[in-house]
Amino acid sequence: MGDEQTFEPPTYYNSLYQHGVDEKRRVQIPAKWRPAKPEVEFTLILWPKAKEGPCLRVLPPKEMAELMRDIDAMSNGDPNKVVLKRFIGTESIQVSVDKAGRICLPEEMAKAAGIKDQAKLVGLLDRFEIWNPERFEAVKASDAVMAHEAFKLME
């Protein structure tokens, strides 16, 4: 009887939140997005993909494991494999949610992402991002232009 598994429903990171960032660079995580177990850590990655500037991509453990599998599946002859491993390895950190429901943004990462006194938390369904609010408004405008074409893929 000791092998009983309890079903944990998946966490969906949806919606959009704006929170203040305190002097210690702590930002509140929405209650629905917090891990059920306090020992669960998120991986924060400085994500350089947007032309508007980098943001912080936040991966729960399952998504970080999938990212690692995807990178490991790349051919060892592909020079991008080591670049991705080196970049993600040096531009990421594990963070825990404190008892007040906050995570602390490392100083250099927050600075690179342009996050100062306010942060926009953006749900991506299976993960979320933390943005400088002004940068996110530019990204949102770009997304709106592309949304019509993107939704055609859903038909």
Q: How distant, in Å, are the alpha carbons of 42, 68, 80 from that of 108?
A: 18, 23, 24
CA 50 to chain centre: 14
Q: Does pTM surpass 0.85?
A: yes
- pLDDT score recorded for residue 3: 54
What are the tens digits of pLDDT across the range 74-128? 999 999 999 999 999 999 999 999 999 999 999 999 999 999 999 999 999 999 9
H or E segment to which residue 119 belongs: strand 118-123
Which pair of tokens denotes residue 126?
């299976």
Average pLDDT over residues 130-147: 92
Q: Which amino acid is at 72?
A: D
Q: Under CATH, which number does the domain 16-152 receive?
A: 3.40.1550.20
pLDDT tens track for 22-68: 999 999 999 999 998 888 999 999 999 778 899 999 999 999 999 99
